[in-house]
Structure 1
Amino acid sequence: MTFTPEALLETTGLPEKARRDIPRVMNRLLGQTFLYQDSETDKDDYYFTHRHRPIFTTLLALAGFTLLHDDYHRIFQVVSDFSYCHQRFKLDESLMIVVLRKLYEEQVEQLSLAADPVVTIGEVREEYRTITGKERDLGVGQYEAILSRLRRLGLIEPLDGRSLDARDSEARLRLRGSVKMILPVQTAEEMEAWLRKYRAAEPSDEDSDGNTN
């Protein structure tokens, strides 16, 4: 038996067009980590993955990845089972993810929200100062670089048709459900453990890589 990608995909019993789409969608899942049902650019591939989820789960598992799904927010996430392909974040980026996760939980709990919570840039900056205990805030350029990366991951989304401007404290950000998936803590104690971990980091380690999954 000739072992080729085509031969392997033929065993799925899918139509030819679907078989051609599987490598592209798998590549997209691996490249962008999250796939959102409520995103116009993601929607078709989200539903394609959902329809053929057992196939994607099996093929990704062969490469050492796990396909996760948040049923409430309708988001797919691919997580590496080994350390080689984990997302790497600098210390300030990891701390910002913790900030967003904390704000997400507080907003949902206080306001009993059914939709994704919304916060301002000012609230993000204030919470960052609070949890890090730093006397000085990050610079505007640092904030924009960090938030831009997290936006590319899909964790946040600027509202009001605005671009991402860290100087505008009133600018609003939507916190996506993927914030919960990228940092899947379940209790306040787990959150505090994350904060203690990064508060204990030496200043010389601030440019070292962190890992959230």
Structure 2
Amino acid sequence: MFEEKFEKLSLTEQESFRRIINWLLAHTYLLQGNYVFDDSMKRTNPDYLFVERQFGLFQDYLEYSGFHLERDSNYGVIFISSTYEYNRVKFDKATTLMLYVLRLIYEEEREKLSLSRDIFTSTGDLVHKMISLGVIKKKPSNLVLRDSLRTLNRFRVIEKPDGSWEAADTKLLILPTILFIVTNERISNMYKLIDEEPGGDMIPEDEEDEETYQDASDSLA
């Protein structure tokens, strides 16, 4: 029984359990390594190790609420998915397209690397890539850039050091979680989204004008 196993944890472990459950419900993904930009290196995430040790306990608790806890040890990702359709996040079109292009950048850069899995780009390079692909005709407004990149950061798709999201030279770390959000099958679906908007310019200058929404991922809680 869950209650019996939970009571066997120390008070500190019980508090960690509650805190991590809240994190997963808010952010969906938990990574094995946290990148420290000041040191240009990854440090092991103790929360990830704790969930690994108590995976069955976390799994049992979340199952009660209709969530599935999953992990991929190869990429060091633990995440939750929801049984219920209405408890999944939908991204607006601008965020969806940025997510799609970030996935393409991730694949292209990963092919160039032999050892490191850390994939970097920048806000400026992201926008340039979107224009070169014909997704947009011109740079989106700073408001759209900022809000979309913040959303992707919330769901652990990207990280950045200090600086504004919309600045062209802001470095973006693309996290391996993107592989679980944008699968190969979903890439094909996103191609269709682009084809439906001939001529590009798919991202509005004012976010309030955007009324079209797309599913971001079946794995988003």
TM range (shorter): 0.7 to 0.9
Report the residue type matching 1:176 in the other structure: L
Paired-residue identity, %: 22
Residue number in structure 2 paired with 1:111? 113
Are the equivalent residues in 1 in contact too, given 2:145–2:165 (CA < 8 A)? Answer: no
Change over 3 Å in CA distance of 1:113–1:96 after alignment to 2: farther
Higher relative contact order (CA 8 A, sep 6+): 2
Where structure 1 has 5 or more consecutive residues not aligned to the other structure, the ranges are 1-6
| TM-score normalised by structure 1 residue count | 0.80
What is the count of residue pairs matched by the alignment?
201
- Pick one of 214, 217, 220 that aligns with 1:210: 214
Choose between structure 1 and 2: higher helix proportion.
Answer: 1
| TM-score normalised by structure 2 residue count | 0.77
Question: What is the deviation of 1:95?
Answer: 0.9
CA distance in 2, matches of 1:193, 1:15: 45
Where structure 2 has 5 or more consecutive residues not aligned to the other structure, the ranges are 37-42
Residue number in structure 2 paired with 1:33? 28
Question: What is the deviation of 1:201?
Answer: 5.8
CA distance in 2, matches of 1:94, 1:87: 11
Question: What is the deviation of 1:27?
Answer: 2.0
Are the equivalent residues in 1 in contact too, given 2:2–2:57 (CA < 8 A)? Answer: no
Change over 3 Å in CA distance of 1:184–1:133 after alignment to 2: closer
CA distance in 2, matches of 1:42, 1:26: 19
Are the equivalent residues in 2 in contact too, given 1:65–1:81 (CA < 8 A)? Answer: yes
Residue number in structure 1 paired with 2:178? 179
The superposition leaves residues 21-54 of structure 1 with CA deviations (integer Å, 9 ceiling, x where unpaired) of: 4333222211121112222899232221110111
CA distance in 2, matches of 1:94, 1:113: 29
The superposition leaves residues 146-197 of structure 1 with CA deviations (integer Å, 9 ceiling, x where unpaired) of: 1122122221122xx43134232x33211111111222226xxx52332213
Are the equivalent residues in 1 in contact too, given 2:135–2:194 (CA < 8 A)? Answer: no
Residue number in structure 2 paired with 1:193? 189
CA distance in 1, matches of 2:54, 2:10: 14
